[in-house]
Structure 1
Amino acid sequence: MSDNFLHHWSQQYLSEQPPRTKSLVMTLFGDVIRPHGGALWLGSLIQLLAPFGINDRLVRTSVYRLAEEGWLSAQREGRRSMYTLRPQASRRFQKAHQRIYAPSYLAWNGQWTQVFFLSSSISTKQRADLRKALLWEGFGAISPFAFIHPNPDLHNLNELIEHNHCAHAVYVSQLIESPLEHSKDLSQLIQECWQLDEVSERYQRFISHFKPVLAHIQAQADTHPLSAEQAFVLRTLLIHEYRRAQLHDPQLPLELLPKNWVGKQAYELCQHIYRYLVKSSQIHILDTLRLEDANAPDVASYFYDRFGGLYQDMAIA
């Protein structure tokens, strides 16, 4: 039976590399809860996490810490608690959503964006915060005061500069290749500024873990369909590991990446498995959410845009 094989696979996966509860809660809020309104009762969260071997004490501790860190807000109604994504956290999840569920390998116009500043014009803390934020956005450091990216999200860059209150000190410029004969090719900066080997290893681990899952689902889908709960467990583990690999990816244009870039292969694998799992997993999610809240909302319309479109996969006969 397909369920037996994949149940064994998921249990082995959880025993060999058990996810941290707080991290898995974050995955659930991004993949499941945010598209369902961004809020749920604690009892529903406990039930959703039970198949992963996580007890209610760990769930309570994790959501308490996430609330302390500013990700969630809590609202009590009698003995029950509801947890809601705070607005700033929801915006951060939206950015992560754009990275995870949409192909990031866009066309490149051959230009580079450089962000730089003078050491005397920015405080030590601002410099550290700005560096951290730029590296998170995929920029490579060419010096302690200069960072470069061939294809950044300029809207995110503008927000980043504003959030760090350093517009007065930061210069942003566009660069193109020089025709000078005695000059290194800018594409060589890829090897010097980005740790792509580490990113590639993360993607390779993801592929090695989930490629057998896709092969088994494809072979058994018609004769042994997955249960709704098993589809949900697999979908959550899939996005949890892919998210951890993908958020370290600087999202460089394919023209500047190694041939047959493994990140593209990982995205396509994740896309195929997700599409197989999404319909059944949604049944389990809604059934669980509506045990405590009969009016728990269905998914928002943007949910169906994931991985190039889920409309066909979600169609109900």
Structure 2
Amino acid sequence: MAIDDEDGGGAAGQPGRLILTVYGLYARERGGWLPIAGLVRLLGEMGVNVQAVRSAIHRLKRRGLVDAQRRADAAGYALSADAYGLLAEGDVRIFGHTRGAADDGWLLVVFSVPDTERAKRHQLRSTLTRLGFGTVSPGTWIAPSHLRDATVETLERAGLAGFTQVFTGPHVAGGDLSELVASWWDLDGLQALYADFLDRFEPVGARWLDGTGDDARAFVDLVDMLTAWRRLPYADPGLPLELLPADWNGRRAQELFSALSARLREPAARHVEAMLGPAEAPARSLPASRAG
């Protein structure tokens, strides 16, 4: 689920991102649709008021991610075709997060954009940043090779492929690869993001993994955690562990996310069913997430 809305501090400050998490988790097994009244009740449990929910859903509608629909005389919003594709792409990145090895090779995107297309240059840089690329030089960006297919598909979908050349291959010479990786990516910044996640959710993990809680609390904690986690597999594109600092905390954060997701998904789904009624189709399990 890579279609973030606005950033924010607490739950009440980021209703758009929370709504996208709820849709990604629960709408697709309900025909891609959720009733607005039910969405208001669910988000209300996370401290988001009615007006904030309605404002956020209207912004998502303007972005083409949801469409207003009535079903069985109930008002609600359905995922657009574009949103379905983006959510499926995000599932792979978030729940199937792949970590490469140094000998797997690297992916290079080289681009040259004429001055008359400056907006495309900015779009290219923003797109590659969102995919998790590091910067070798202004027109040369790098990522682990396992991002090849996702990168090619994203560039084509965005209409940017004509400005780029895409290569894969090993690093042969030109410096210590660990030092180069540290210059291409902001590893200190990544460590700080992981540290924030651990500080916030290790106490949640301790409460759930060693004990119990009610279904409503499971829903709140799962949506809150997934909303906070969602950007991290994009900021860290699965850099090889052997090239990262010895105290790298990303692996511990991934293990916490995987364990807590597995623990919370069933009670959270029960709570959503109690609030909205049974799903139209058999519940779709979250993809199994892999630590690494």
**1:297 and 2:275 aligned:** no
C-alpha offsets along residues 183-218 of structure 1, whole Å, 9 cap, x if unaligned?
Answer: 322432211111121121111111112112222233
Kindly state the Cα deviation for residue 93 of structure 1 after the two structures are TM-superposed: 1.4
Q: Which residue is 2:263 aligned to?
A: 276
**1:256 and 2:240 aligned:** no
Query: For the residues of structure 2 that align with 1:16 and 1:305, how far apart are their CA atoms?
Result: 26
Q: Which residue is 2:150 aligned to?
A: 156
Q: Say if 1:112 and 1:149, in contact at 8 Å, map to a contact too.
A: yes
Q: In structure 2, do the counterparts of structure 1 residues 90 and 260 end up closer, same or farther at CA, with 3 Å as the change threshold?
A: farther
Kindly state the Cα deviation for residue 18 of structure 1 after the two structures are TM-superposed: 4.0
- Aligned with 1:307: secondary structure? coil
Kindly state the Cα deviation for residue 63 of structure 1 after the two structures are TM-superposed: 0.7
Q: Say if 1:206 and 1:245, in contact at 8 Å, map to a contact too.
A: no
Q: In structure 2, do the counterparts of structure 1 residues 115 and 75 end up closer, same or farther at CA, with 3 Å as the change threshold?
A: same
Q: Say if 1:110 and 1:176, in contact at 8 Å, map to a contact too.
A: yes
TM-score under structure 2 length normalisation: 0.86
Q: Which amino acid aligns with 2:129?
A: L
Matches within 5 A, 1:20-31: 20-31=14-25
Match of 2:37 among 38, 43, 47: 43
Q: In structure 2, do the counterparts of structure 1 residues 187 and 83 end up closer, same or farther at CA, with 3 Å as the change threshold?
A: same
Q: Which residue is 1:200 aligned to?
A: 191
Match of 1:232 among 210, 213, 219: 219
Query: For the residues of structure 1 that align with 2:133 and 2:98, how far apart are their CA atoms?
Result: 15
- Aligned with 1:84: secondary structure? strand
- Aligned with 2:235: secondary structure? coil
Q: Which residue is 2:55 aligned to?
A: 61
Measured on the aligned residues, the alpha-carbon RMSD in Å equals 2.6
Kindly state the Cα deviation for residue 175 of structure 1 after the two structures are TM-superposed: 3.6
Q: Say if 2:15 and 2:53, in contact at 8 Å, map to a contact too.
A: yes
Q: Which amino acid aligns with 1:194?
A: W
Q: Which residue is 2:66 aligned to?
A: 72
Kindly state the Cα deviation for residue 41 of structure 1 after the two structures are TM-superposed: 0.9
C-alpha offsets along residues 109-147 of structure 1, whole Å, 9 cap, x if unaligned?
Answer: 342221113344982222221111111111112222111
Kindly state the Cα deviation for residue 295 of structure 1 after the two structures are TM-superposed: 5.6
Structure 2 unaligned spans of 5+ = 1-7
Query: For the residues of structure 2 that align with 1:114 and 1:21, how far apart are their CA atoms?
Result: 36
Q: Which residue is 2:181 aligned to?
A: 190
C-alpha offsets along residues 72-125 of structure 1, whole Å, 9 cap, x if unaligned?
Answer: 111135873221111111211122211221232144534222111334498222
Q: Say if 2:12 and 2:48, in contact at 8 Å, map to a contact too.
A: no
Match of 1:288 among 257, 260, 275: 275
Query: For the residues of structure 2 that align with 1:32 and 1:261, how far apart are their CA atoms?
Result: 33
Structure 1 unaligned spans of 5+ = 1-13, 309-317
Higher gyration radius (CA): 1
Query: For the residues of structure 1 that align with 2:179 and 2:51, how far apart are their CA atoms?
Result: 50
**1:217 and 2:208 aligned:** yes
Query: For the residues of structure 1 that align with 2:83 and 2:273, how far apart are their CA atoms?
Result: 23
- % identical aligned pairs: 28
Q: Say if 1:112 and 1:148, in contact at 8 Å, map to a contact too.
A: yes
TM-score under structure 1 length normalisation: 0.80
Query: For the residues of structure 1 that align with 2:115 and 2:140, how far apart are their CA atoms?
Result: 13
- Aligned with 2:69: secondary structure? strand
Query: For the residues of structure 1 that align with 2:272 and 2:218, how far apart are their CA atoms?
Result: 10
Q: Which amino acid aligns with 1:299?
A: A
Kindly state the Cα deviation for residue 285 of structure 1 after the two structures are TM-superposed: 0.9
Q: Which amino acid aligns with 1:201?
A: A
Q: In structure 2, do the counterparts of structure 1 residues 244 and 167 end up closer, same or farther at CA, with 3 Å as the change threshold?
A: closer
Question: Bigger CA drift: 43-52 or 162-171?
Answer: 162-171
Query: For the residues of structure 2 that align with 1:62 and 1:104, how far apart are their CA atoms?
Result: 32
Query: For the residues of structure 2 that align with 1:168 and 1:21, how far apart are their CA atoms?
Result: 36
**1:243 and 2:230 aligned:** yes
Q: Say if 2:178 and 2:244, in contact at 8 Å, map to a contact too.
A: no
Q: Which residue is 2:252 aligned to?
A: 265
